[in-house]
Chains A and B, each alone.
Chain A
Amino acid sequence: MANENLIVQMQGGSKKFGKTVAMDNVNLDITAGHIIGLVGANGAGKSTLLRHIIGLHLADGGQCFTFGTEAGKLTPIELGKIGYVHQEGELLGWMTVGQIIRYVSAYYKNWNHQLEEKYISDFDIQLKKRVASLSPGQRQQLAILLAIGFEPELLILDEPASALDPLARGRFLDLLLHIIQNENKTIIISSHILSDIEKIIDHTIIMQRGVILRDCSFDRLREEFLSFTLTSLNGKLPERLPFENIISCQRNDNKAVVIVKNSSEEQLRTKAKNMNCEIQIKMLPLEDIYRIVVS
């Protein structure tokens, strides 16, 4: 990413919980106007990274600046630009939904009541219900509303849709796309439902065991790994296929399904033509890319 509009900058960020390394020398730059997908297995360090950005965790080593301020010293001015949905959805159980919305909105001058009403209507949120009596999905919907109600510049979503049903997830993704229409908004979304987030993200960060394995635009990542089906038009396919950086290959005598790395579509088509083969190229879904990157 380019350095203009840098809103998060982490250099050498490290964090240990006992003997567990949650973040190991993480370097990260996030500029405004992107939807960033943060991907990784359980315990990869995604939540820890997000919590460092808003100063809920303090790094053992390295530095993290958010909106130009050290994350541990963020003031209400910077924090007022950040919306955060916590994966456990911590809310005040004894309040009703209406009360908690009024309570949180009291802290933000720029609370968008129209957006609030639209969200309540779209997601069919019951204002008189006690928060503790909400289902996990309803609780997540409420947490999302509380995080987006003041239209934050940086929206951090830590597993925001895990408890939502498919319809609610669809509406939620539409909402994110609506938010990102404003080019100054940035969204970081961590999720295990990769098929959902790949519809909206334009940048990907893949983490494993506290280390960032990939930090690049989603388009670049998708171009890096290509899958193609090669069908011989006359006879058998050669024993050794003439492609470089083959990651996997499943084949029989005249057909092969191959995944390659760092090859352009043009190169693949030229080679297929030279072999007198038909080729069908497709981009890999994020889930497959993730599996390759971490393996």
Chain B
Amino acid sequence: MTILEANLKHLYQRIGCWFLGLGFLGGIAGIVGTVLHSRNGAFEGFLIWMYIFGLFTASMQVEILTKPFSFCLPGHNRIPRKFLFTVCLSASFFISAVFLLYPAPNLATAALTGISTALAGTIFYWLGAWVVFSFANWVSTLAFFSLFSFSQHLNIPIIVENIIVNHIPSVIAAGFLVNFLAYLHWGKSDIAKKYCGKLRLSGFDAWNKQKLHAYTQSRMAEKKSVPEMSPAIEAFFIKRITNADQTLGRYIWGGLYTTFAIMLSSPKKWLVNLFIAIPVWLALGYLPGSGNIIFVLPGIMLIHAYLPVYSSLLIVGGRRERFWSALSVALADTLLITVLVLVFAALTIYLKPIMPALTVRGYTAHFTALDIRLFFLPMLMAPITLAIGLICYKNPTIAIITVIAVFTAIWVATLASLGKAHIKPMPHITPLLITCLIVCAWAVFIAVSRYVCVRRSLIKL
């Protein structure tokens, strides 16, 4: 068996690849269906498919390259290029064969359209592969795919189709050029040395908690990734922990210290983040209804919040102390995100009269203020998210998937129960109902955290 064959075997030997393969097959079915029904989006869908395919196949190669044993395999430094090219060209030309069905005046034009599409696909494949080889935390770039949901508004599918079908020579030339550059780039002699022993996350490492932990630690070790704690903030909290003596207050202050000290120490970083976030939210204001995601996202992102329950560092805090510390941190987290989204919502209300209408390719968008009546969502979602985080504490990825699944299920169930009324759901949601829901959500959190603190093992690793 050649090294290339051994590498290709990963595509079917890994259980994760089976699930991934199902996803990719679903994508191909979608592309074929779109072409057969002459709908827009097949070309754009194919390029996105190739990009994601590039991400995952390249990540498998990076995973092998980082393993020290592979450095000693004779001739292994030439395998990534062979593997990537084999997979890229096979997938690209195989799937783009479906574009032969694209309406064309003659067979030659149809064939050229197919070739143009395949080479455009390889460009996106190599882009994905380059992202994986260049960025240690490339998985986070998948978040940008949410932006594709707006592509219809911007006519992106039609633009892509126009370029591939009407500018065939340019696309083919660009495809050859990119493939040539990729051939040179992945043929560099130092490729094995560059990645050997490096800590890199692959697409399958979301389930590898030890690797995730090691990666988090290595990120923390870089001073630029986590800001320094301010001595004044440290002194403030340490004084309160010391003065609280043997009371519960000591553990509550301790929990708040470990959760908020860094945030409070780096106001500049938060201001910069706000300046980045504000234009994004303003842009969302031009897509009616989309901006309201701000009321939902912080509640989901709390899955990353640290609750001082599973810790073997400070065993001086007993189970009771851990419960109260976790509860106080959860309340503080919720208060913080609620205030933040309220400020954002209020800001959009004040901005609405002065924000101009935008016209892009004949589509005019008007700025819409956030629906401030939804301010209760963080208070409702935060306790549920934090409770799931406590239950699924061993693996953050499973916790995130669970949170998204739970909220999706609640959302679908709500829509189903409202029936046609969901078009204007707000009149059904009275302050009393909101209060009851929030109380119930917090009751769930208290019950879960109490159960965890009193009855469960408190070891995380």
Which A residues form the contact surface with B (CB < 8 A)?
51, 54-58, 72-77, 79-80, 82, 84, 86, 88, 90-96, 99, 102-104, 106-109, 130-133, 146
Whether A80 and B316, one on each chain, are in contact in the complex, defined by CB atoms closer than 8 angstroms, is yes
Asked if B318 and A130 make an inter-chain contact with CB atoms under 8 angstroms apart, the answer reads no
**Chain A residues within an 8 Å CB radius of B216:** 93
| A75/B318 contact (C-beta < 8 A), A90-B311, A94-B262, A132-B221 known | yes
Residue A57 contacts which of B254, B320, B459 (CB distance < 8 angstroms)? B459
If A51-B459, A99-B229 touch, whether A72 touches B319 (CB-CB below 8 Å) is: yes
User: Least Cβ distance of B215 to chain A in Å?
Assistant: 11
Instruction: Choose among A56, A86, A96, A130 the residue that contacts B457 (Cβ–Cβ < 8 A).
Output: A56
Chain B residues closer than 8 Å to A74, beta-carbon distance: 318-319
Q: Is the CB of A79 within 8 A of B317?
A: yes
How far apart sit A88 and B319, CA to CA, in the bound complex (Å)? 21
Question: Are the CB atoms of B316 and A107 closer together than 8 Å?
Answer: yes
Distance (whole angstroms) from the CB of B246 to the closest CB of chain A: 6
- Whether B457 and A91, one on each chain, are in contact in the complex, defined by CB atoms closer than 8 angstroms, is no
A102 to B238, CA, bound (A): 8
CB distance from A75 to the nearest CB of B (A): 5
Query: Given A92-B258, A107-B316, are A76 and B221 also a contact pair (CB < 8 Å)?
Result: no
List residues of B whose CB falls within 8 A of some A CB.
216-221, 223, 226, 229, 234, 238, 241-242, 245-246, 250, 254, 257-258, 262, 311-321, 454-461
Residues from chain B with a CB closer than 8 A to the CB of A104 are 313-314
Asked if A82 meets B223 with Cβ closer than 8 Å, knowing A88-B461, A99-B229, A132-B217, the reply is: no
With contacts A130-B221, A132-B220 taken as known, whether A73 is within 8 angstroms of B319 at the C-beta atoms is yes
Q: Which of A54, A77, A95, A99 contacts B315 (CB 8 A)?
A: A54
**Chain A nearest CB, measured from B454 CB (Å):** 8
Shortest CB-to-CB span from A8 to chain B, Å, is 15
Measured between beta carbons, the chain A residues less than 8 angstroms from B459 are: 51, 56-57
Contact pick for A76, options B229, B234, B321, CB 8 Å: B321
Question: A107 and B223 in contact (CB under 8 A), knowing A56-B458, A58-B457, A99-B234?
Answer: no
A107 touches B254 (CB 8 A): yes
Q: Is the CB–CB distance between A84 and B315 below 8 Å?
A: yes
Q: Apart from A90-B313, A133-B221, what 9 extra A-B contacts exist at CB < 8 Å?
A: A76-B246, A76-B250, A76-B316, A80-B316, A94-B220, A94-B226, A102-B234, A106-B254, A146-B313
> How many angstroms from the CA of A96 to the CA of B221 in the assembled complex?
10
Closest to B312 in A: A86
Residue numbers in B under 8 Å from A76 (CB-CB): 246, 250, 316-318, 321
Q: Tell me the nearest residue of chain A to B458, going by C-beta.
A: A56
Contact across chains for A103 and B257 when beta carbons are under 8 A apart: yes
**A106 and B321 contacting across the interface, CB-CB below 8 Å:** no
A-B contact pairs, 19 of them (CB 8 A): A55-B319, A56-B458, A72-B319, A74-B319, A76-B317, A79-B315, A79-B317, A86-B312, A90-B313, A90-B460, A92-B313, A93-B220, A93-B221, A103-B241, A106-B241, A106-B242, A107-B254, A107-B316, A133-B220
- Determine the distance from Cα of A91 to Cα of B314 in the docked complex, in whole angstroms: 9
Cα(A86)–Cα(B220), bound, Å: 20
Q: Which residue from A72, A99, A108, A131 sits with its C-beta under 8 Å from B316?
A: A108
Shortest beta-carbon distance from A82 to chain B in Å: 6
Task: Please determine whether A93 and B217 come into contact, CB atoms closer than 8 angstroms.
Answer: yes
Q: Which 7 A-B pairs have the closest CB atoms?
A: A132-B220, A133-B221, A93-B220, A132-B221, A106-B241, A86-B312, A132-B217
A57 and B457 contact, Cβ closer than 8 Å, known pairs A75-B320, A93-B221, A94-B262: yes
Contact B241 A107 (CB under 8 A): yes
Nearest CB of chain A from residue B157's CB, rounded to whole Å? 44
The complex places the Cα of A74 from the Cα of B312 at a distance, in Å, of 14
- In whole angstroms, what is the CA distance A117 to B387 when docked? 41
Contact call B315/A58, Cβ cutoff below 8 A: no
Tell me the bound Cα distance from A91 to B219 in angstroms.
15
Of B216, B218, B312, B454, the most chain A CB neighbours within 10 A belong to B312
State in angstroms the CA–CA spacing of A16 and B229 once bound together: 41
- Could you tell me if A130 and B220 are in contact, using CB atoms closer than 8 angstroms? yes
Given contacts A90-B313, A94-B220, contact A55 B242 (CB under 8 A): no
Q: Whole-angstrom distance from the CB of B305 to the nearest CB of chain A? A: 14
CB-defined contacts of A82 to chain B, threshold 8 Å: 315
Interface centre among A80, A102, A106, by most B CB within 10 Å? A106
